[in-house]
């Protein structure tokens, strides 16, 4: 469908803005306006700036309902202020709606003007994949060749897309509760030129980089399955009570989080911390501190490293900025004057 495009009208009379429009971008626009490379660069820079204190990000706000929740995720970074408003309703597919739907508004920090309203559903997966890629770049062994995936749903695809831009992947081992889901993911990897096999969880863990993307609330990965030198992207646990790894893995590995507060309350480490088996001091660093050179990343080929990803608003705003600026260059989107200016 072609969009009606109206030239943005910004008339400045004296010092006064008399007409100004907000850009509206749908999921199709957003997908075409940003690449995984751009997302990875943006997310890496966002983590770095956050570690240097050059961003602000209040805690997420939750509204809980019987069938799901809504979360508000605001941040100010890289010259933009904004908020992602995202739901999670697991039974939505029964009535033909997606589980997760997200919208983002980016505003000018100078005036508060809403510059763009965009779909952020695709962006959420993109920035999560980008974060996994960036984390593995700093924490995995450079010669990593075999990649295990436990959970082969939506997030696994984005993790793979980011990781294959950094590593020469020889083999993907795909594990999912539903064999057909693992097979479809393996097929996707093969189409990207990477050999792939369906595996059980134990076999998938015999790898250089392990990616876990299940919504599990009980460990699906046992400590005895993890070899020395493995890097783990623990993506699935992003809310209280969720857990994919046996706690022993966290205790014997080097844990790097995206944000200490969020990870403590809802990341892979949340269960270990609430049970008193791990302390905040056991967290080695944030990924931003590693990127900024404040703390070391991997220090030996023997170490087990774990990236605990919860998903941050600064990641959303950073990729949203790329989308908005590319949209402006290409004059994409519907323009709307919301206010009588
Ligand atoms: N860290 C972040 O920033 C972030 C961002 C988005 C989503 N997530 C989380 O990632 C998880 C996955 O999201 P998704 O969109 O890929 O969901 P999805 O439903 O598309 O995929 C999850 C897959 O995991 C499989 N699975 C479940 N339990 C398993 C087990 N014990 N062993 C093997 N496979 C198992 C399911 O069969 C399914 O295919 C969710 O918990 C979601 O909340 C985290």
Asked if the model's pLDDT at residue 327 lies above 90, the reply is yes
Residue of 235, 241, 269 best suited for mutating to test ligand 1, as the one with most atoms within 8 Å of CB: 235
CA distance 227 to 304: 8
CA distance 314 to 159: 19
Number of Cβ within 10 Å of residue 79's Cβ equals: 12
Residue of 121, 124, 214, 221 best suited for mutating to test ligand 1, as the one with most atoms within 8 Å of CB: 214
CA distance 137 to 235: 16
Question: Which residues lie with the beta carbon below 6 Å from any ligand 1 atom?
Answer: 124, 128, 150-155, 175-178, 181, 201, 213-216, 220, 235-236, 238, 309-311
Alpha helices per DSSP H over the chain: 27-32, 36-51, 121-139, 154-163, 179-191, 201-204, 247-252, 260-266, 270-274, 287-291, 313-330
- Phi and psi (nearest 5°) for 48? -65, -45
CA distance 305 to 142: 13
Quote the pLDDT of residue 161: 98
Sign for the CA dihedral angle at 26, 28, 34, 37 comes to: positive
Average pLDDT over residues 231-236: 98
Number of Cβ within 10 Å of residue 80's Cβ equals: 19
Number of Cβ within 10 Å of residue 276's Cβ equals: 7
Residues involved in catalysis? 84
Domain ranges of the chain: 12-123+314-336, 135-311
Contacts of 49 (CB under 8 A, 6+ apart): 55, 77, 78, 288, 314
Asked if the model's pLDDT at residue 8 lies above 70, the reply is no
Q: Read off the pLDDT band of 341 (50, 70, 90).
A: confident
Average pLDDT over residues 67-88: 97
Tens of pLDDT, residue by residue over 280-310, are 999 999 999 999 999 999 999 999 999 999 9
Query: Can you tell me which atom of ligand 1 is nearest the CA of 218?
Result: 31
Burial class (CB in 10 A: 0-12, 13-18, 19+), 132: buried
DSSP 82-106: EEEEEEE-TTGGGGT--S--EEEEE
CA distance 104 to 23: 12
Query: Can you tell me which atom of ligand 1 is nearest the CA of 150?
Result: 33
Q: Ligand 1 centre and the CA of 267: distance in Å? A: 13
Higher pLDDT, 332 or 3: 332
Q: Which CATH architecture has domain 12-123+314-336?
A: 2-Layer Sandwich (3.30)
Decide if domain 135-311 falls under CATH 3.40.50.300: no
Please provide the size of the chain in residues. Answer: 341
Q: Read off the pLDDT band of 17 (50, 70, 90).
A: low
**Which pTM value belongs to this model?**
0.94
Asked if the model's pLDDT at residue 7 lies above 50, the reply is no
């Amino acid at each position: 469908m072609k969009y009606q495009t109206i030239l943005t009208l910004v008339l400045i009379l004296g010092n006064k803005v008399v007409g100004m429009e907000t850009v509206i971008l749908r999921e199709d626009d957003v997908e075409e306006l940003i690449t995984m490379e751009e997302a990875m660069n943006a997310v890496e820079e966002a983590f770095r700036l956050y570690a240097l204190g050059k961003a602000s990000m209040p805690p997420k706000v939750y509204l809980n309902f019987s069938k799901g929740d809504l979360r508000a995720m605001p941040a100010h970074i890289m010259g933009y202020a904004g908020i992602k408003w995202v739901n999670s309703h697991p039974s939505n597919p029964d009535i033909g709606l997606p589980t997760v739907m997200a919208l983002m508004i980016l505003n000018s920090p100078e005036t508060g003007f809403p510059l763009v309203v965009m779909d952020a559903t695709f962006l959420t997966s993109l920035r999560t994949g980008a974060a996994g890629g960036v984390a593995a770049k700093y924490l995995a062994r450079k010669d990593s060749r075999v990649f295990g995936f436990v959970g082969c749903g939506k997030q696994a695809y984005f993790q793979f897309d980011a990781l294959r831009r950094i590593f020469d992947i020889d083999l993907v081992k795909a594990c999912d509760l539903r064999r057909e889901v693992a097979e479809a993911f393996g097929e996707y990897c093969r189409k990207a030129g990477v050999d792939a096999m369906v595996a059980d969880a134990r076999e998938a863990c015999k790898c250089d980089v392990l990616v876990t993307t299940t919504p599990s609330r009980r460990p699906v990965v046992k400590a005895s399955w993890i070899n020395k030198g493995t890097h783990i992207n623990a993506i699935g646990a992003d809310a209280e009570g969720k857990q994919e790894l046996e706690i022993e893995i966290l205790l014997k590995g080097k844990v790097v989080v995206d944000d200490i507060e969020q990870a403590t309350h809802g990341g892979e480490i949340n269960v270990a911390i609430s049970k008193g088996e791990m302390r905040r001091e056991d967290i080695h660093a944030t990924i931003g501190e590693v990127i900024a050179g404040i703390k070391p990343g991997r220090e030996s080929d023997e170490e087990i490293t774990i990236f605990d990803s919860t998903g941050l608003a600064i990641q959303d705003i950073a990729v949203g900025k790329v989308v908005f600026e590319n949209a402006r260059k290409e004059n994409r989107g519907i323009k709307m004057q919301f206010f009588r200016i």
